[in-house]
Each structure stands twice: as C-alpha cells, then as structure tokens.
Amino acid sequence: MIINCINCDKKFEVNSELIPSEGRTIQCGSCNHIWFYKHNTNIKNDFNAPKDIEDSLKSKKIIKKKKIDDNSTSIKSNKNLSQEIDKIVNKKEKALVKYHKDRKFTFSNLLSYILVLIISFIGVVIIVDTFKAPLYEMFPQLEILLFSLFETLKDIELFIKDLA
C-alpha cells in the first residue's frame, strides 16, 4: 500500500498488515510529521503539542467538552493513542539525552578552543594593524598601546624560536 505524507506529500510504500483496521499514528521519514492514518481515509491530526491532541480528540468526540476525571472511560478507550504518543515523546527524549551524553569535554576540545582563540586574536591584530592610521587619529593614546602590543608579540615570537 502507498501512503502520502499529509505535510510534505512524499509517498511511502507500507505493508498493509502493519496498519490495523482501526488505524494508527504514522511518522513521515522525510519531514518527521506525525498523523493518524486509517484505511481508506487519511485523517489529519497534528501531534506536535498536547493542546493539539486534546483539540483533535474533542473534535472526534473522544473527549467530551466538559472536564474529565481520571476514571473516565473515554480516556481509557484512548489508551492505544496515548501509548503511541508516549513512545514518540520517549524516543525524542532519549535521542536528546544521547546527544548530550556524547558531547563530553575532552583535551582535544580544549586544544581546538585554544586554537580558535589564537586565530581570532591574530585576526584582530591584523585588522588593527591595517587600520592603525585612522585609529590613531580617532584615539591618540592608542598608538602607545599598539606599539607595546606589537613589541610583546615580537618578544613571544623570539621566545618560541629560541625554544625550537
């Protein structure tokens, strides 16, 4: 059977045995949109927010418009739908936790940050050196500071050459 995503209109071939006669929620592999699919009908239910879920269930008269207590039978009859939603939410939470676990601060990360800092500093020095004449006119005291900075950089360069 071929199913069209109601969001991006992409077509997927799905084994018809995987979808029961009462229907089930489906997630698009291309745009990750989730909707409820039933044989011969394609009912659009966007499960992006709990309010949308409640509104869509109210429109189907699964949840009555009055407040429903915990012992309500309409919520119990909706157990399969809530389990599907819980599965989707748990998958996304697990992926987020896995992403954060994989991101550990290592020595190589520290070195890469230091390298980026050094390159950025060199870029700033080059820009300041390029525009030093207009900067001296705007800030007369800057000439002394820049001269000291360039002398310090030359000393560091000589120190590194002596180490090598």
Three-class HEC string of the chain = CEEECCCCCCEEECCHHHCCCCCEEEECCCCCCEEEEECCECCCCCCCCHHHHHHHHHHCCCCCCCCCCCCCHHHHCCHHHHHHHHHHHHHHHHHHHHHHHHCCCCHHHHHHHHHHHHHHHHHHHHHHHHCHHHHHHHCCCHHHHHHHHHHHHHHHHHHHHHHC
pLDDT at res. 48: 47
Kindly give, in sequence order, each residue whose CB lies less than 8 Å from that of residue 8, ignoring residues fewer than 6 positions away: 28, 30, 31, 33
Q: How far is CA 147 from CA 62, 74, 128, 134, 144, in A?
A: 77, 79, 11, 15, 5
| Predicted local distance difference test score (pLDDT) of residue 40 | 65
Helical axes 142-163 vs 107-130, angle rounded to 10°:
130
In tens, the pLDDT along 26-61 reads 888 888 888 888 876 544 444 444 555 555 555 554
10-21 residue pLDDT tens: 887 877 777 788
Number of Cβ within 10 Å of residue 5's Cβ equals 19
Query: Residues 115-159: pLDDT tens digits?
Result: 999 999 999 989 988 998 898 889 888 889 888 988 998 999 999
- Say what the pLDDT of residue 155 is: 93
- Indicate whether this model's pTM tops 0.85: no
Q: What's the pLDDT score for residue 111?
A: 94
Whether pLDDT at 4 is above 60: yes
pLDDT of 78 above 80: no
| Higher per-residue confidence, 65 vs 130 | 130
